Structure 1
């Protein structure tokens, strides 16, 4: 089976090629491309060549010159596609039910093997016809990875007037006696007419993390992370808080992944 790899990191290409050979030595990587432009050029040059036409494409979403969705807009992709992505596994879990699969980076051998087996089951004995599935998945993935319209500022009451506060200037949100408040990086304190649950949905998850029921913290406000009993984490924030800010044992792993992105 011929495989075409679309991936902009050379190390990732080598690793994926090695994994493919380990899973199935009969697989033939017929080509690689690091960008949208190079992918379109390769596909248009080789899709009609019986010796090089891919039976399967492994396609990274974020490429050197844009998102791989653009490839589908510029040329016909007739081979089945397995997307590879660094995006959150839980956000993309629903796509496992599609006829085209995805793999979360870093790619693991057993997951690649399962995806290839799925491909074989879906195409065994029949002519590959997956354009509808590809179009549907591309649209869904585009919605997932396109930045959402997160809140950029809040209008808050200050003395006798209303003032705008940029979200980037907010160190953390917190709840006190049933009221939602936030502190700015300069330690100004303001109240909001939103519950923390509502605020969590408004904020960019790359920048803000729900540490516990009482606090949502800006990644730039986290100064130190201390181990705490029962596998919890204790955070030191800037500016200082009046309370201990703890990350629960259940959320500790997600928090460390978030901080390490």
Structure 2
């Protein structure tokens, strides 16, 4: 699908793999699409939008390193069509689809993204450049009101030699990725390969207990034995069982979110 003119898109996404996949899908759909740039936080998104010409479309992840993307709309007047990307249940989204071009459920599929861009094209053709207004408070209220109960993963099937074994989630201390292979570590320090990326695992695990510490680790709250201040506002975690590199570093941007999560 090609739009009549090159579409200029700005992306706000804090997951590297998610960003790379999104850009790849966009160029597969239409190689003329121009990616103006991308940022990972609310703060940097606000700065970019205030200091650059408006794009044709914003692709916004809802959960960012320093909060939810709705804060962007509270700080500045965004007069740009928006496609939200989210892990919220798809049935909840139907209650407020009228507020934007579309909402895409992660992991994003090519055909759904293509349909959203086609919808934008129809809007531009029929009504001219759409000036999308997002009622942020209504959007947040709708999410919490209509969100269906999330079903989280209860166990993972792993290989042990030539056999298969079910590992209950309650047995898992943390997940780790190395050379594009994901592993889980149990409380009794056994390691197993899992057939999911950390990005996929993040949608399967109960966020009450598991936290995506960085690009390489998802940790269980009870696995965190010590938290030390690190350079430039970062945090250093000591895990039990010990991590592969003996510690896990949380970025300055994610430190506040981590503290709120662990302090619940």
Which TM-score bucket, shorter chain as reference?
Answer: 0.5 to 0.7
Aligned residue pairs total 157
Residue 141 (str. 1) matches residue 142 (str. 2): no
CA–CA distance in structure 2, aligned partners of residues 27 and 86 of structure 1: 25
> Counterpart of 1:4 in 2: which secondary structure?
strand
> Counterpart of 1:113 in 2: which secondary structure?
helix
Tell me, yes or no, if the aligned pair for 2:123 and 2:130 is still in contact at 8 Å. no
- Alpha-carbon spacing, 1:14–1:259, altered in 2? closer, same or farther (3 Å): closer
Residue in 2 aligned with 1:4? 10
If asked which structure has higher relative contact order (CA below 8 Å, sep 6+), I would say 2
Unaligned runs of 5+ in 1: 48-52, 149-200, 210-218, 226-235, 239-256
Tell me, yes or no, if the aligned pair for 2:59 and 2:85 is still in contact at 8 Å. yes
Residue in 1 aligned with 2:106? 105
Residue in 2 aligned with 1:61? 62
* 1:27 alignment partner, one of 29, 33, 45: 33
CA–CA distance in structure 1, aligned partners of residues 127 and 155 of structure 2: 58
Unaligned runs of 5+ in 2: 1-6, 158-167, 171-201, 207-264
Shift of 1:224: 11
- Superposed CA deviations along residues 183-217 of structure 1, whole A, max 9, x for unmatched, are xxxxxxxxxxxxxxxxxx9xx945xx7xxxxxxxx
Tell me, yes or no, if the aligned pair for 2:26 and 2:33 is still in contact at 8 Å. yes
Shift of 1:109: 0.2
Shift of 1:22: 0.4
Tell me, yes or no, if the aligned pair for 2:82 and 2:100 is still in contact at 8 Å. no
Could you tell me the TM-score, scaled by structure 2's length?
0.52
Shift of 1:19: 0.4
- Superposed CA deviations along residues 89-148 of structure 1, whole A, max 9, x for unmatched, are 11113334555211100000000000000001011264424243x23xx333311445x7
CA–CA distance in structure 2, aligned partners of residues 31 and 223 of structure 1: 38
Counting only pairs closer than 5 Å after superposition, residues 231-242 of structure 1 correspond to structure 2 as none
- Alpha-carbon spacing, 1:62–1:99, altered in 2? closer, same or farther (3 Å): closer
